[in-house]
Structure 1
């Protein structure tokens, strides 16, 4: 494959619709990864970037957080959206670097430590049982995504934040509009300013919640964020709202995608489903393989803080890089038979949660939610099959299944 072909193929990374066809997407990424693993991508409406496709190169960038910074472009968006977010002052954890990132991240860290996870374990088990019971009561046929997968992790993260249950439907709509802004089914309308309205609506919701928690603190994460102080000063309004937003979106859509994509993988690979049922001790490995298989965060961006090079390619100060987790998690240099779904895969050094200082602080919670859900579901599942074509979201950032029509038989 020549350089021009590689450049053309790499454009799928900036094509939201390409992520709806995983087979073609991965075929394109594999060809480019094997031939030109760091390639310059220029497409209309987006600022140029270097695509980083190999696992080892992604890890090099992740480890070199002083050379490759999150600010100012942590996510691939159109140039128009880049400018609008910058003008709005959006500054979440994924926008931060260095000491600022460390201090702000620490505000919520304790809520995701093992001790806190153990305290939540019974609650998550209850919620897993509730949603598996709901599946059992649905009459043997449903859209698994809309009935179960989007609601269970939403319930968990909103309970952790302290959002009242009556507001869960609003939070579901807003999170889907924010991370699904490239998908015709979820976006408000075509103009980027309409997508920004979803963010502003979420900000306004959390502004009211912050005022409430500052006046009457409670034992939830919202109170922790609302009353946090850095050097004796409360967080600015924009930093407070941004914090809630990243927790709400990152704690919901990624886990939802892994649960629905994980179930589809078991349906598509009945031999692996049988292996798991015959040896349920494989559940932790299965969950890791589901996470690798789905890779719900497709990519993050970095910016070179100085002139450097990567895989022998000169990178100029100020250049943007796209770390393709979707590509890295199918890299045959790291994963034996990477296009096989293997519940016994070990080791499984996927990068679905990132790596280093920006490693996802909710990784332990996501793993627990998945383990508890499948531990509740699979022993009760007598049979399951697809009743239609699964549909994936159009995205360049976070995504997975948006529809998974299934027919099943369960014990009550």
Structure 2
């Protein structure tokens, strides 16, 4: 029985079934909040399910580091990466999300200022214009659509590609490659290809694409973020092509996928709780609070790993040097010790200290942009839709790392 539970924790299908996930992780929070987990085909790890434990770990970024294991992958896939140019790490690329210490700070500083509220205020009107464009697209589709597939994925993708400097005609390619990496364990998305093979092909295609972009921006720099990254210097030296491409990949993938999941999941929550939807319609000034509740509710980043650098005791469990710990963010955001009535969606929730963006020095670089996009989109949507309801069964991506709705059929009537 215990082994079967371990296998469920690692099974991507669990993350495509929110009710089953909540049932299992509620039980873990109550009975085994720091669980030694040994699923078949995976190296073992500690499953950390409670809010305060995750915050305790994330605060101590010198004792719990990102290298060498960032996320849950089969042993065979990890060994394939180790045998490549990964320098013994299980991470296929050297990206911001798997760096630590001074290296992480230096690379984060390259683009940090671009994602601060003071800078983002300069593009508020551009984001609002794009929000209008995609709500226009919703209206042009008639009175039914798959909101997740037809609208939610495209709006934040175009926002981040505009910032990055990628032309609109390449949006489909960027979305396809993002799905191949972040949705590589979902059978519908990969059409039967193995997760490792799907990721490998997508990464190769990303590298080929962004290598050309680097060469162009180094020869002809513009004011876009691609130029900033391509011409960045750390400790007086230009960053390498590999560093620049890896930076592009994390911005191009994480820069839109989690936001699209939060927009689709946020709308689904409003439809599941129609009294909250009506409250938001009557009081649009509640939108900033509603966005925070959507983020808590959806928690699109399902986990990241940390590795202990020394012996540690967490909730009475002896953590050994080299042990992996799986930070389960959706579980933390349902923690009964932190959130009142956590399984209810409440747009006026006060003191909403969710960890949907992580916590500490590795907190998501684009959190302010995500909030800006969500506010812009829902402000536009709710002002222009008279009626909206579910038109079928929603479906979630089967992925233990980043997940969200892949299908959200809706029926609606636009305001005349």
TM-score normalised to structure 2 length:
0.96
Contact 2:214 2:241 in 1 (8 A): no
Matched, 1:305 2:309: yes
Match of 1:33 among 16, 29, 34: 29
Structure 2 alignment gaps of length 5 or more: 87-92
Change in CA separation of 1:280 and 1:179 when aligned onto 2, cut-off 3 Å: same
Which residue in the other structure is 2:325 paired with? 321
SS in 2 for 1:26: helix
Which residue in the other structure is 1:122 paired with? 125
Contact 1:386 1:404 in 2 (8 A): yes
Which residue in the other structure is 2:109 paired with? 106
Match of 1:276 among 272, 275, 280: 280
Q: How far apart, CA to CA, are the structure 1 residues paired with 2:143 and 2:79?
A: 47
Q: How far apart, CA to CA, are the structure 2 residues paired with 1:331 and 1:235?
A: 41
Which residue in the other structure is 1:79 paired with? 75
Contact 1:93 1:101 in 2 (8 A): yes
Q: CA deviation at 1:83?
A: 3.0
Contact 1:9 1:29 in 2 (8 A): no
Q: How far apart, CA to CA, are the structure 2 residues paired with 1:46 and 1:52?
A: 17
Q: CA deviation at 1:45?
A: 1.7
Q: CA deviation at 1:283?
A: 0.5
Q: CA deviation at 1:10?
A: 4.7
Aligned pairs for 1:388-399 (under 5 A) are: 388-399=392-403
Q: CA deviation at 1:193?
A: 2.8
Q: CA deviation at 1:200?
A: 1.0
Contact 1:10 1:28 in 2 (8 A): no
Q: How far apart, CA to CA, are the structure 1 residues paired with 2:298 and 2:77?
A: 26
Which residue in the other structure is 1:171 paired with? 174
Contact 1:69 1:302 in 2 (8 A): yes
Contact 1:390 1:401 in 2 (8 A): yes
Structure 1 alignment gaps of length 5 or more: none
Matched, 1:291 2:295: yes
Deviations 1:282-338 (A, max 9, x none): 100100000010000000100001111111100000010000001100000000000
SS in 2 for 1:249: helix
Q: How far apart, CA to CA, are the structure 1 residues paired with 2:85 and 2:278?
A: 51
Q: How far apart, CA to CA, are the structure 1 residues paired with 2:37 and 2:335?
A: 20
Question: 285-294 or 82-91: which moved more?
Answer: 82-91
Contact 2:311 2:319 in 1 (8 A): yes
SS in 2 for 1:409: strand
SS in 2 for 1:382: strand
Q: CA deviation at 1:82?
A: 2.3
Change in CA separation of 1:405 and 1:269 when aligned onto 2, cut-off 3 Å: same
Change in CA separation of 1:341 and 1:368 when aligned onto 2, cut-off 3 Å: same
Matched, 1:401 2:413: no
Q: How far apart, CA to CA, are the structure 2 residues paired with 1:341 and 1:226?
A: 42
Contact 2:6 2:37 in 1 (8 A): yes
Query: Number of paired residues?
Result: 408
Question: How big is the alpha-carbon RMSD for the aligned residues of Structure 1 and Structure 2?
Answer: 1.2
Q: CA deviation at 1:353?
A: 0.2
Contact 2:70 2:304 in 1 (8 A): yes
Q: How far apart, CA to CA, are the structure 1 residues paired with 2:13 and 2:142?
A: 33
TM-score normalised to structure 1 length:
0.97
Question: 315-324 or 74-83: which moved more?
Answer: 74-83
Which residue in the other structure is 1:17 paired with? 13
Q: How far apart, CA to CA, are the structure 2 residues paired with 1:390 and 1:350?
A: 24
Q: How far apart, CA to CA, are the structure 1 residues paired with 2:8 and 2:374?
A: 30
Change in CA separation of 1:95 and 1:129 when aligned onto 2, cut-off 3 Å: same
Matched, 1:159 2:162: yes
Which residue in the other structure is 1:351 paired with? 355
Q: CA deviation at 1:57?
A: 0.2
Match of 2:138 among 113, 135, 138: 135
Q: CA deviation at 1:55?
A: 0.3
Q: How far apart, CA to CA, are the structure 2 residues paired with 1:149 and 1:252?
A: 10
Which residue in the other structure is 1:63 paired with? 59
Matched, 1:46 2:42: yes
